[in-house]
Amino acid sequence: MTRTITLSDGKKIPALGWGNGSGGMNRNPDKALSAGVIALKAGIHHIDTAQIYLTEVAAAGAIKEAGFTKADVWVTSKLGKQGLSVDPKTIRENVQGTLDQLGFKPDLYLIHNPFVAEAGDGNIAKLWTILEDLVQNGPLEGVSLGVSNFRPQDLKEILAVAKIKPVANQLEFHPYVLTHLQPVLDICSANGIVIESYGPLTPVLRHPTGGPLKPILERIAQRVSKEAGKTVDPTSVLLLWTIQKGAVAVTTSTREENIKTLASVDGLPDLTADEIKEIEETGRKVHYRHYREHMEKDFAVPDLPSDL
């Protein structure tokens, strides 16, 4: 079974995605290509790439080398250079860069972060309007538009002018950032904007101790293992939690064994409502973020400990 999430424009995005922008693949197209082939063959038919990763060519190459066609695979890319001059010609050229690198249209195109538009009042809104125009009358026809690392103020700015609302906001999303993200989540929920979670495994892999979720995730992993009849680890529990919260889980690995574990999440039984609640309530008591450069700028973090 492939779990999917329906976007506000009706498209169904696979709920589990594999990214080629981390794990040593960023700016390393050879590694992104070989790991991409493994991920696709393992059954993850959703690649997350971006201009600034320099891995768009590798994403397209992996689809071909794995023996798939574009129709078999969901591809997200992102408009990425920082401080772009917000004029139609510059933006069109940059969008064309993605189309040339991929050799096809992505399914979803995101503004990588609010700082892609050069600083200036109203520039994020202007950038959104130019992208809308490229969807309505240009080379992005049929492509879903979204954003990434957008804070409340950025979302409000584009929603005030949007003819097409963003379908997704890709953020670091896991239980330890829930309290901080609540204002963003509220705006997204009110406007049908799906959360795409990057860094979903941070509580298990990057938090120095694992924090208060560690024993809870381990206990739930044992419960799910019994039901599934095979060993299920806490990383899989976190990915199930992410997806059952209605977010797309954009994870990654370059190791075949770990990729197979990630791909197997689609076949696992659901967490119970009580398990989802326990993870969420525990996570909300902590603030721990791995990627800090965008979401902590002019968006106050809560006064919470990073561990209990």
Q: In the beta sheet, which residues pair with residue 75?
A: 47
H or E stretch at 19? strand 16-19
The verdict on whether residue 46 carries a ligand-binding annotation is no
Q: In the beta sheet, which residues pair with residue 77?
A: 109
Residue at 55: amino acid letter: T
Among 170, 212, 213, 283, binds ligand NAP (CB under 6 A): 170
Specify the pairing of strand 12-14 against strand 4-6. Answer: antiparallel
Among 184, 250, 279, 295, binds ligand NAP (CB under 6 A): 250
34 sits near ligand NAP (criterion: CB under 6 A): no
Closest distance to ligand NAP from the beta carbon of 22 (Å): 3
Collapse the DSSP code of 117 into the 3-class scheme (helix H, G, I; strand E, B; otherwise coil) and give the result.
Answer: strand
Q: Which of residues 259-288 bind ligand NAP (CB under 6 A)?
A: 261-262
Among 48, 154, 157, 275, binds ligand NAP (CB under 6 A): 48
The C-alpha atoms of residue 308 and residue 298 are separated, in whole angstroms, by 26
199 sits near ligand NAP (criterion: CB under 6 A): yes
Q: Locate tokens 């063959």: which residue?
A: 41
Spatial neighbors of 182 by CB under 8 A, at least 6 apart, are: none
Site string for ligand NAP, 66-105 (x = CB under 6 A): ----------------------------------------
Residue at 249: amino acid letter: A
Q: In the beta sheet, which residues pair with residue 148?
A: 170
The C-alpha atoms of residue 198 and residue 18 are separated, in whole angstroms, by 10
Among 200, 211, 212, 283, binds ligand NAP (CB under 6 A): 200
Among 74, 128, 173, 198, binds ligand NAP (CB under 6 A): 198
How many residues form the binding site for ligand NAP (CB under 6 A)? 27
251 sits near ligand NAP (criterion: CB under 6 A): yes
Among 160, 205, 301, 308, binds ligand NAP (CB under 6 A): 205
Closest distance to ligand NAP from the beta carbon of 33 (Å): 14
User: Which tokens is 224 given?
Assistant: 């799910």
234 sits near ligand NAP (criterion: CB under 6 A): no
53 is catalytic: yes
Spatial neighbors of 165 by CB under 8 A, at least 6 apart, are: 8, 159, 191, 192, 193
Closest distance to ligand NAP from the beta carbon of 263 (Å): 10
Q: How many helices (H) and strands (E) does the chain have?
A: 11, 10
Among 70, 291, 296, 299, binds ligand NAP (CB under 6 A): 291
Closest distance to ligand NAP from the beta carbon of 47 (Å): 8
202 sits near ligand NAP (criterion: CB under 6 A): yes
Binding footprint of ligand NAP on the chain (CB under 6 A) = 19-23, 48, 112, 148-149, 170, 198-202, 205, 235, 250-255, 258, 261-262, 291
Tell me which residues are annotated as active site.
53
Q: Residue positions in the annotated binding site?
A: 112
